[in-house]
Amino acid sequence: MKKIGELFQEADWKMEKHVPVIECADAVKADEFFEVKVTIGKEIAHPNTTEHHISWIALFFMPDGEKFPYQIARCEFAAHGASVQGPNTSTVYTHHAVTGWMKTGKPGTLIASSYCNIHGLWQSSKEIKLK
């Protein structure tokens, strides 16, 4: 049986539309809030249709020297054009991007994960240093 970590796919976000892209400063001040944005399809647009969409994005932070990561945020996307009239007939759609704020007293690694209803689990990471 596969372990959950073996199910996550990774790729260069400039070449693959499913990879979550983490945007924030490379170095932040200790214990001061900083903005983090996670998007899907930054370079190559990902569709957002009833049949093919991003269901959720989650963000974790793994501080250096600690045993487990902290879950920073999770966002579910529920509007993909579906309605009682059928697929892609609604005028309501979500966009797969999330912005939040966090602070840390330690350097570490941000880990973003996402789920495409057709192409499964994806992840990326970004190292965060302290100034």
pLDDT in tens, 4-37: 889 898 888 888 899 999 999 999 999 999 999 9
- In the CATH scheme, what is the homologous superfamily, with its name and number, of domain 4-130? SOR catalytic domain (2.60.40.730)
Q: Find the catalytic residue in 23, 32, 35, 52.
A: 52
Would you call 52 a catalytic residue per the annotation? yes
Q: Find the catalytic residue in 46, 53, 80, 96.
A: 46
- How large is the average pLDDT for residues 54-70? 98
According to the 3-state scheme, what is the secondary structure of 18-83? CCEEEECCCEECCCCCEEEEEEECCCCCCCCCCCCCEEEEEEEEEECCCCCCEEEEEEECCCECCE
| pLDDT tens digits along 79-109 | 999 999 999 999 999 999 999 999 999 999 9
Would you call 96 a catalytic residue per the annotation? no
Would you call 24 a catalytic residue per the annotation? no
- pLDDT classification of 43: cutoffs 50, 70, 90: confident
Q: Find the catalytic residue in 16, 42, 106, 126.
A: 16
- How large is the average pLDDT for residues 35-64? 95
